[in-house]
Structure 1
Amino acid sequence: MGVLELLAQETISFACLPKAHSGWSLLGIPFDSTTTYKPGTRFAPDAVRSTSCNLEFYSILTGLILEDERINDIGNLVLPPGDVKEGLRIIEDAAREIRSLYPNTLPIFIGGEHLITYPIMKAFGKDVDTLVVFDAHLDLRNEYLNSRYNHATFLRRVVEELDLNVLHIGSRAYSKDELDYVRASGLRMLNILDLKDLETVSKEFKNLGRTYISLDIDVVDPAYAPGVGNPEPLGMDPFTLLRVIKKIFESGSRVMGFDLVEVNPLVDVNDVTSALAGKIILEVMAMDKSIRIAK
């Protein structure tokens, strides 16, 4: 008996699509054990699912309509409260099991805090060449509040422990130590100012190879996404974000997986952040389908 059979809790389906085998496998990961400012991201998987049920299925980025689609929505992981190490182990095992059981699908994970990307990347291992991270923050601290494994350090652990390339997009909030680490490590970074010229940005996507995309919703400006634990002004607008993601899909790189993290329903306004998260996931599904159709 696998992790999913033991620890996956059934939920309503994302966007209320019928649950069945499809091109997408979705798992909620309600993990927020290391959040520091405004906790509550563990409620995001259910909130995003619920809000997405009220969205239309037309993809403005691809022209596809997804209303007749199915989705393999596995539900939410049940995680031990307060046990970060065990929680990370369960997430890694679950991500690995999804890849084994549903090898021809695009895995989609809804967090939860950004630390969940670390065990997911461990599960993907050498099957990913490049991790693309959209985030207002670098999350490259060596430790934070005496912890080496938390939402502010996850990317440092990925860079140090895993053999893959990293491209960070949309940042605008740094500590001195993080900037020093970027310069020393040579980590590729496109900050918020670099995104003004999308054609130049798209040149960075030519040699990504097998790509995993991790999206912290706080990369979007708080005017569009107020429901986050660590809001940072001067962010991206949603349409620019989706256009950049679409260029990654169209670059010839194979997108191996996608996660969306850090939605906090407890501080949201009229569910607009959950709705935006749901819309982004629908657009990513449409982008993935359009690439499959083109092949």
Structure 2
Amino acid sequence: MRVLVTDAEYGVLDIEADVLAAAGHELLTARCRTADDVIAAAQDVDAVIVQYAPITAEVLEALPRLRLVSRYGVGVDVVDTDAARARGVWVCNVPDYGTVEVALHAVAMLLALLRNLAGHDREVHAGRWDYRLGGQLRRPGGLTLGVVGLGRIGRMTMERAAPWFGACVGYDPHLPDAAWPPGVERAGLEELFARSSAVTLHLPLTPESHGLVGADLLARVPPGSYLVNTARGGLVDLDAVLAALEDGRLAGVALDVLPEEPPPADHALLGHPRALLSPHVAWYSEESEAELRRKAAENVVVWARTGRPPHPVVEGR
């Protein structure tokens, strides 16, 4: 088979090449950014491995030979899954490569906000040695933690962070009661935001969840709350976050993902003293990157051999 990596940030794609070559498949590479780029590069290929390039309905229509899309990562929001389903194209992901890393990053961001580590660091580097300059800090045992999404990552984040808090509430409409984690009170989304002084997001980006955390939900949080997002940038309305930081509803926000990456150089959040930002790195370790790349290629190999990929999101034919 002919397999195209449409785009990737990983440099030399030796891991993918080795996995595919061992199974007798040919690897092609491109640097696609737009749907037109994908259409031009993916003529006469059987499968694509994609990071950020859009796999739209137009792409799928223009590539009748394409039978499988394997995504580097958990989310498949770059793929028009409805169009893929209608055309019988398999869509698969890698759901379990960076669970520990993302949960670790989310907890690290949460604790850094609670202790205002970035603020204290700035003051010390500026030559000011005064614990009061970092603002008021609160003991987490008197606060409630809210976890939005209790899949692999959300659950691990909850298990690590919740013992520091006085209570923990969760929201996940897809998780049945039989699988609900002990010690976490189930709540509706609006109730969770109204009760939680710290909220961490662990949801996929879908048309329904796009812009989920906006002015309405942020208006419900207790004054001086914290928000952490290591999931998808499109979940959060940044204008609403800035407004909540300015009026004190949010004492701090920590974001590893943004709606536009990288953000515009003049974006107000970049200079905000109570915004902790990292460059979509929560998933990364040397080990997780190697695992991600290997499993994205193995999706193709196993599908070619058995007719079904290990991690299907959309069933093909």
- TM (norm. structure 2) is 0.31
Instruction: Name which one, 1 or 2, has greater alpha-carbon Rg.
Output: 2
Q: Which protein has greater RCO, CA pairs closer than 8 Å, 6+ apart? A: 1
